[in-house]
Chain A
Amino acid sequence: AQTVTQSQPEMSVQEAETVTLSCTYDTSESDYYLFWYKQPPSRQMILVIRQEAYKQQNATENRFSVNFQKAAKSFSLKISDSQLGDAAMYFCAYRSYYSNAGNMLTFGGGTRLMVKP
Chain B
Amino acid sequence: ETGVTQSPTHLIKTRGQQVTLRCSSQSGHNTVSWYQQALGQGPQFIFQYYREEENGRGNFPPRFSGLQFPNYSSELNVNALELDDSALYLCASSYGVETQYFGPGTRLLVL
Contact = CB atoms under 8 A, between A and B. Distances in A.
Interface of A: 4, 35, 37, 42-47, 50, 91, 93, 95, 99, 101-110
B23 to A, nearest CB: 13
A45 B42 contact: no
Nearest to A43: B105
Contact of A43 (B58, B92, B97, B104): B104
A44 B42 contact: no
13 contacts: A42-B104, A44-B103, A45-B43, A45-B92, A45-B102, A46-B102, A99-B96, A103-B48, A104-B33, A107-B42, A107-B44, A108-B42, A110-B42
Interface string B84-100: 00001010101011011
B41 to A, nearest CB: 6
Contacts of B107: 43
Contacts of B99: 35, 47, 50
A42 B90 CA distance: 13
Given A45-B90, A91-B42, 9 more contacts: A43-B88, A43-B104, A93-B42, A102-B50, A103-B33, A103-B94, A104-B45, A105-B92, A110-B40
Contacts of B105: 43-44
Nearest to A103: B97
B42 A101 contact: no
Contacts of A44: 102-105
B42 A109 contact: yes
Contacts of B43: 45, 91, 105, 107
A91 B103 CA distance: 16
A19 to B, nearest CB: 19
Contact of A104 (B58, B90, B101, B102): B58
A106 B58 CA distance: 10
A104 B104 contact: no
B35 to A, nearest CB: 8
A74 to B, nearest CB: 18
Contact of A102 (B35, B48, B88, B101): B48
Nearest to A46: B102
